[in-house]
Amino acid sequence: MVMFWFLVIALVVVVAAVTLAVLGHGEGAVLPEAPPERLHDPLPADRPVHRADVETLRFPLTLRGYRMSDVDDALARLGAELAEREARIAALEEALAAPRPTAPDGAHRDPRGAGEGGGR
């Protein structure tokens, strides 16, 4: 019987609290509009993006997830950086694959300076 009265009193308290919360604010008491969250730490514009920049990048949450414009900007920047690096890698690989000029037979010298004629 004690448990029954405890539950009844708890129910009355909850109903009263909800009623006060809904009706107790009065008319015209509206919460101010919250300022929209913006990306605080964007990717650096003055230098290439490093791994640590991507790992620390955090997007602010909105009602339905992340702000699409912030995510699109970050992905576009990362895509441009990757394309630039891929082009640089391709140019370096092409330079390595290119045939190197060989020295004529008689022009071969020992890099230590002990070529023809001996040093002693």
CB count in 10 Å sphere of residue 54: 12
Q: What is the pLDDT of residue 66?
A: 83
Mean pLDDT taken over the chain: 80
Mean pLDDT value across residues 19-38: 69
Distance CA 74, CA 52 (A): 14
CB 70 within 8 A of CB 39: yes
Burial letters 65-83, b for 16+ CB under 10 A, else e:
eebeebeeebeebeeebee
pTM summary value: 0.48
Structure tokens at 52: 């640590």
- Provide the residue count of the chain: 120
Q: How far is CA 115 from the centre of its chain?
A: 57
Can you tell me the distance from the alpha carbon of 67 to that of 73, in angstroms, rounded to the nearest whole number? Answer: 10
Q: What is the pLDDT of residues 98-119, one digit of tens each?
A: 888 776 665 555 556 555 555 5
